[in-house]
Structures are given as structure tokens and as C-alpha cells.
């Protein structure tokens, strides 16, 4: 069976690092949509209101593959592609810069700050790592090969050329990337470390916290204590798998929940505003892999520091600190 033809390229440029929405007009066997406007009202009026749909049509905001504005009275044509820019809801600016530890013709290795989502999703669209980097670096095709939780800081591998993204994604899928994290959590001398933790982790959609349950293990983490002082420990965490919240779940199961974790061991009420002075004390510190495109051995290190473990030797000279000193004068 022949697959669906590849959609044509978007005729609209990105806006704030976010591409336009693509719509494919579906089959209409009942003839319910004589015109393009009839379908768009059915499809979007509930979300944005019929007045907004009509205003967008009148303003030429819906375009076809040739970039030309779509008229409200155009006959409906199943299979046709349309594009438009969504209206961005106001988003609180995450007041930390995105670091870049490496950039070449294939890769951008970003040093993500805490509180910034990796990709546009839900209520985080323009305030995301990908949107910011596309806009700031003028790389509209930039895509991440993997993701970090919004509350976790550190290294994210982004691919410059769309055709090479699959090769780098395969590295993560096949566990060919050595990922090293660093965390600050309580110190308990009764907890024997180092150790490897294996368990079955389940994450239900719509439920904030993941949980462990009996059954075949689907997650594995190596936990090592690097040093301790003042009742806290600094830990190296080496995940062999990549379940949602895996490291946070495993540390919590050991009785060592990460400092400033709003989910483990207890889900806290969502704050009205982010407390940027209390970031989750977890950073993706290192990535090691053999580059599938160039064949080179690669090792990258994050310059982000964990504020619960101050180090006088770390003066933040790399510009990768997640603290008020990193906020630009204009808040950007």
C-alpha cells in the first residue's frame, strides 16, 4: 500500500523560533464543508472562537502551499494543506540564558538552564530551549535528539541538519550515549553506595508523579556518592535507561529525594510563579558518544552549577550559572 505523500514545505517562516501550524483537510463524504471556511469553523471555532477564525481569513492568515492567502469562500478540497501561525499565549520569561558548549555544522550542544522546557508543548511554547536557539542562532531547522525534563538543567544534543537527526536519535534509542548526571540530596551514612538500582517505573498521562510497582524492571540507574558535608551529599547518577523522572524516582526510593524536588516524595501545589532561587538540584553533566556522522569520539561537559553545593572555585565564568547573576539586564 502506497504511503501518504510527503507534505510540501511550510510557506510561512517561523515566528519566535516556532513554526506555523500545518492543517491537512480531511475527506468529507457527507459534504458538510462546502467551503474552506466551513471546515475551519468546525475545526477551530471551539478553541479560538468563530470571530477569530473569520478575522484570520479576512486578514490572509491562512495560506496555501504557494504562500497565497486562502479566501473564506474557496471550495473545500480534501487533502489540501493549509498553514497559519497560532496566537501565542503570554508566557513567563525564564530569566536564564541558554549556554552553548559546542557548535558545528552537525550539532549544537546546548547547556539548558533549570525551568526551561526542551520542546514546545502544552503551555510552554516560545519559552523553550528549541524555540530560543532557533531564534538566537538563526537555525530554523534545529531539532533536539532527546529531551530533558523542564526542571532539570544541563546538556541537550541538538541536530542542525534534519536529515541527520535520525542517526543521533538512534544513539539514544540504542543506549550508545553515556549520560552522566550530578545531583544534591540528603546524605545518609546508612545507605550503602555505590549501587545499581533497577525497578519497574510507571508514569500515567495526566499524573505528575511516576511510581514504582512490582514487575519486570524497565529502568536502571547507577548511584555514586562523590562527597558529603553538612547533611547533604553530591551524587553522580548514571542512567542506563531513560524512563520519565527515573533518577528522581530512584533517589527518592533510596530515601534520598533531590533537594528542591517539587514532586518527590510529595507533590507540592503548583506555585503561582516559579521560584527561580530554588531550582531542582539535578544537572545533566556529561555526554559521551561516538559521532554517527563524523565517527569522532565526543565528550561534552555542562558548566551549570548546583546552587545547593556552593564551590568557591566555581566563579561562573562560563556564563552557565542558574542564579540571579545570570539574568540579563533586560530580563532576557
Please, what is the average pLDDT of the chain? 91
Residue 332 has pLDDT above 70, yes or no: no
pLDDT on residue 83 = 96
Owner of C-alpha cell 546538556: 155
Percent share of the chain, pLDDT over 90 = 83
Q: Could you state, in order of their start, the residue ranges of all structural domains in the chain? A: 21-84, 99-326
pLDDT on residue 123 = 86
CATH number for the domain whose boundaries are 99-326? 3.30.2350.10
Distances (CA, A) of 147 to 117, 133, 155, 167: 9, 14, 9, 16
Percent share of the chain, pLDDT over 70 = 92
Cβ atoms 61, 48 nearer than 8 A: no
> Cα angle vertex 157, ends 153, 163, to 5°?
150
Q: What is the pLDDT of residues 254-266, one digit of tens each?
A: 999 999 999 999 9
pLDDT average, residue stretch 144-173: 96
pLDDT average, residue stretch 201-229: 96
Residue 125 has pLDDT above 70, yes or no: yes
CB atoms within 10 A of CB 313: 5
pLDDT on residue 3 = 57
- DSSP state letter for 174: T
Strands (E), the chain: 21-24, 81-84, 99-103, 107-112, 143-144, 153-159, 178-186, 195-202, 211-213, 219-229, 232-239, 282-290, 297-301
Rounded Cα–Cα distance for residues 49 and 144 (Å):
34
Which grid coordinates belong to 253? 526510593
How confident is residue 273, by pLDDT bands cut at 50, 70 and 90? Answer: confident
pLDDT average, residue stretch 154-161: 98
pLDDT on residue 6 = 85
Which grid coordinates belong to 329? 539586564
Which grid coordinates belong to 68? 497565497
Specify the pTM: 0.85
Residue 320 has pLDDT above 70, yes or no: no
Amino acid at each position: 500500500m502506497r504511503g501518504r505523500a510527503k507534505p510540501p514545505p511550510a510557506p510561512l517562516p517561523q515566528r519566535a523560533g516556532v513554526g506555523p501550524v500545518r492543517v491537512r483537510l480531511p475527506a468529507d463524504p457527507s459534504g458538510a464543508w462546502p467551503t474552506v471556511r466551513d471546515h475551519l469553523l468546525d475545526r477551530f471555532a471551539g478553541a479560538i472562537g468563530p470571530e477569530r477564525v473569520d478575522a484570520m481569513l479576512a486578514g490572509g492568515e491562512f495560506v496555501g502551499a504557494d504562500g497565497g492567502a486562502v479566501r473564506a469562500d474557496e471550495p473545500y478540497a480534501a487533502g489540501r494543506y493549509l498553514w497559519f501561525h497560532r496566537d501565542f499565549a503570554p508566557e513567563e520569561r525564564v530569566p536564564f540564558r541558554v549556554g552553548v558548549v559546542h557548535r558545528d555544522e552537525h550539532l549544537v550542544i546546548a547547556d539548558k538552564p533549570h525551568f526551561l522546557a526542551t520542546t514546545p508543548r502544552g503551555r510552554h511554547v516560545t519559552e523553550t530551549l528549541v524555540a530560543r536557539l532557533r531564534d538566537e542562532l538563526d537555525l530554523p531547522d534545529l531539532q533536539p535528539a532527546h529531551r530533558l525534563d523542564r526542571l532539570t538543567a544541563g546538556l541537550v544534543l541538538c541536530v542542525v541538519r534534519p536529515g541527520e537527526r535520525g542517526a543521533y536519535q538512534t544513539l539514544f534509542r540504542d543506549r550508545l550515549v553515556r549520560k552522566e548526571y550530578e545531583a544534591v540530596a540528603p546524605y545518609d551514612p546508612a545507605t550503602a553506595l555505590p549501587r545499581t538500582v533497577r525497578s519497574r517505573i510507571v508514569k500515567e498521562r495526566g499524573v505528575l508523579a511516576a511510581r514504582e510497582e512490582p514487575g519486570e524492571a524497565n529502568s536502571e540507574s547507577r548511584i555514586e556518592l562523590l562527597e558529603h558535608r553538612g547533611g547533604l551529599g553530591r551524587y553522580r547518577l548514571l542512567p542506563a535507561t531513560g524512563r520519565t523522572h527515573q533518577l528522581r524516582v530512584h533517589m527518592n526510593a533510596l530515601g534520598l529525594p533531590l533537594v528542591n524536588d517539587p514532586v518527590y516524595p510529595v507533590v507540592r501545589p503548583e506555585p503561582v510563579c516559579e521560584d527561580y532561587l530554588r531550582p531542582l538540584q539535578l544537572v545533566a553533566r556529561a555526554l559521551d558518544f561516538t559521532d554517527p556522522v563524523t565517527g569522532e569520539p565526543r565528550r561534552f561537559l555542562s558548566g551549570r552549577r548546583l546552587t545547593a553545593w556552593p564551590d568557591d572555585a566555581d566563579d561562573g565564568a562560563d556564563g552557565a550559572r542558574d542564579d540571579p547573576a545570570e539574568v540579563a539586564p533586560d530580563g532576557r
